[in-house]
Amino acid sequence: MLKIEAARVIVSSPGRNFVTLKIETKDGVYGVGDATLNGRELAVASYLQDHVIPCLIGRDAHRIEDIWQFLYRGAYWRRGPVTMSAIAAVDMALWDIKAKVAGLPLYQLLGGASRDNVLVYCHANGKTIEDTLEDAVKHKEMGYKAIRLQAGVPGLKSTYGVPKGKEAYEPADADIPTENLWSTEKYMRSLPKLFEEGRRVLGDDVHLLHDVHHRLTPIEAARLGKDLEPYRLFWLEDTVDDDNQENFRIIRKHTTTPLAIGEIFNSIWDCRTLIQEQLIDYIRATIVHAGGITHLRQIAHFADLFNVKTGFHGATDLSPITMASALHFDMAIHNFGIQEHMPHSEQMESIFKVNYTFEDGFMHPSETPGHGCDIDEKEAAKYPYKRAYLPVNRLEQGGAMCNW
Ligand code: EZ4
Ligand code: CO
Q: Is 12 in the pocket of ligand 1 (CB under 6 A)?
A: no
- Where in the chain do CATH 3.20.20.120 domains reside? 109-368
**Cα distance between residue 63 and residue 174, in whole Å:** 41
Task: Using the mean position of ligand 2's atoms as its centre, give its distance from the Cα of residue 281 in Å.
Answer: 15
Task: Using the mean position of ligand 1's atoms as its centre, give its distance from the Cα of residue 82 in Å.
Answer: 17
Q: Is 171 in the pocket of ligand 1 (CB under 6 A)?
A: yes
**Cα distance between residue 153 and residue 171, in whole Å:** 17
Q: Which residues are catalytic?
A: 160, 213
**Highest CATH level, class, for 4-105:** alpha beta
Report yes or no: 162 and 169 within 8 Å, Cβ to Cβ: yes
Per-residue pLDDT of the chain (404 residues; tens, 9 = 90+): 999 999 999 999 999 999 999 999 998 999 999 999 999 999 999 999 999 999 999 999 999 999 999 999 999 999 999 999 999 999 999 999 999 999 999 999 999 999 999 999 999 999 999 999 999 999 999 999 999 999 999 999 999 999 988 788 888 989 999 999 999 999 999 999 999 999 999 999 999 999 999 999 999 999 999 999 999 999 999 999 999 999 999 999 999 999 999 999 999 999 999 999 999 999 999 999 999 999 999 999 999 999 999 999 999 999 999 999 999 999 999 999 999 999 999 999 999 999 999 999 999 999 999 999 999 999 999 999 999 999 999 999 999 999 99
Half-sphere exposure of 321 (CA within 13 A, CB side): 31
What pLDDT score was predicted for residue 369?
98
- Where in the chain do CATH 3.30.390.10 domains reside? 4-105
Residue having the nearest C-alpha atom to atom 5 of ligand 1: 315
What pLDDT score was predicted for residue 211?
98
Nearest residue to 210 (alpha-carbon basis) of 238, 228, 236: 236
What pLDDT score was predicted for residue 135?
97
The topology (CATH level 3) of 109-368 is TIM Barrel (3.20.20)
What pLDDT score was predicted for residue 365?
98
Q: Is 330 in the pocket of ligand 1 (CB under 6 A)?
A: no
Mark out the alpha helices in 75-183 (DSSP H runs). Answer: 81-102, 106-109, 129-141
